[in-house]
Amino acid sequence: MVAGHLREKRGYYHIVLSYTDENGKRQTPSKSTGLPVKGNKKRAEAMLQEARRTMEAELQLRQMEREKGYTDNPADILFTRFLLDWLEMMKASVEITTYAAYSSGIKNRIVPYFEEHHPGLRLRQVTPKQLQDYYTYEMKVNGVSANTVIHRHANIRKALQYAFKTGLLSSNPADRIERPKKQKFVGSIYDEHELEKLFQIVRGDPVELGVILAAFYGLRRSEVVGLKWDAIDFKKKTITIRHTVTQVTLNGKSTIIEKDRTKTKSSYRTLPLVPPFEELLHRLKLQQEQNRKLCGKSYHTEAEGYIYVNEIGELVKPGYITQHFPLVLEKYGLRKIRFHDLRHSCASLLYANGVSLKEIQEWLGHSDISTTSNIYTHLDFNSKVASANAIMGVYPTVVHD
């Protein structure tokens, strides 16, 4: 356990740590934060906590290295072993959804590749070319997208940066490679006519609630499943997005994560409760009450308070929506899109009808308006047609029969 406190010295905050090293000796290193005492207490305290976490992680890694026999030179640890140890260390300091993403990439893709193509590779032997070869392999052989490779690169770089910061490496080889260029998002969206048809065919289907929430309100899948009855104010006619449900896979097992907060602070938002959706909610509430009476003691109460439950009271899982939605489209001959594309369709229709980017940002819950601009402004083709017609009005004689 690493303890620590702040010390005031010559008008500046200093961090003082206290821990027992691998030899059983008490260590109390200190360093300046560079922050003046006046007005910087919170920032200094944050730096103290970060220093404690870093040292705690370093001591844990040293312990794991000693247990694996790398006492003389910790950098002799196998690169794959180091990645797995780093992953385990990160488990305590990141959210489970973040850990699941790290775990999937490292355990299922990165480690198997290096075990097959570079068996016996030590941490100190990792080169930029070996990393570059891995990214190329993923894209050319496995057909992985550039954006996915960028995420894998981020995992590797973060792990190697830790090795660099703790003195296991003299530099970070991941800093000296060309990572793929991020692919610009190109969405597949429904226009108002396709959405109208979709609303008709999903009426009464288990995916109806999800479709309405994603297409009209632009909700993320996690926000759709996470919606609760206490988020609906029937008197004030509002719906508040403040709870999420996500589904992650850890060690081959699916896990449901419930959070009483949204993806970002901006994702917490209150929207107007429109009459068609209010009607749907009243219908769903009545169905839940009828199902509860019909099932009696067999009705599940674990998801009490959630709106999106099935006939026996079980929470509808995010994965079910993703799997069931394309089956509905195929059954009724609708053009294939992803469930998340309904959120993009919502944004596109708002933009096409003159809603400002700022208003769209607030409706969708983006933390940065640049996100809204980068993703959605290219989706509306009608605005481009209007621009073309305007230009033709200025240059009517350019095109001849």
Rounded Cα–Cα distance for residues 123 and 165 (Å) = 14
What pLDDT digit, counting tens, does each position of 208-262 carry? 999 999 999 999 999 999 999 999 999 999 999 999 999 888 777 888 888 877 6
What pLDDT digit, counting tens, does each position of 94-128 carry? 888 888 999 999 999 999 999 999 988 999 999 99
**CATH fold for domain 192-384:** hpI Integrase; Chain A (1.10.443)
What pLDDT digit, counting tens, does each position of 349-391 carry? 888 888 888 888 888 888 777 666 666 555 555 555 555 555 4
Residue 263 in this model has a pLDDT that exceeds 50: yes
**pLDDT-wise least confident of 93-102, 144-153, 247-256, 336-345:** 247-256
pTM for the structure as a whole = 0.68
Q: What are phi and psi of 139, to 5 degrees?
A: -75, -45
pLDDT, position 400: 44
Q: Which CATH architecture has domain 68-176?
A: Orthogonal Bundle (1.10)
- Sequence-distant (≥ 6) Cβ neighbours of residue 89 within 8 angstroms: 57, 60, 61
> Comparing C-alpha atoms, which of 102, 135, 134 is closest to residue 121?
134
Residue 397 in this model has a pLDDT that exceeds 80: no
The mean pLDDT value for 180-184 works out to: 77
What pLDDT digit, counting tens, does each position of 185-202 carry? 666 889 889 999 999 999
Which letter, b or e, does each residue of 213-234 get, where b requires 16 or more Cβ atoms within 10 Å of its Cβ?
Answer: bbbbbbbbbbbbbbbbeebbee
Helix or strand holding residue 17 (H, E): strand 12-20
For residue 83, what pLDDT band results from cuts at 50, 70 and 90? very high
- Assess whether the region 68-176 and the region 192-384 belong to the same CATH fold: no
Domains of the chain: which residue ranges?
68-176, 192-384
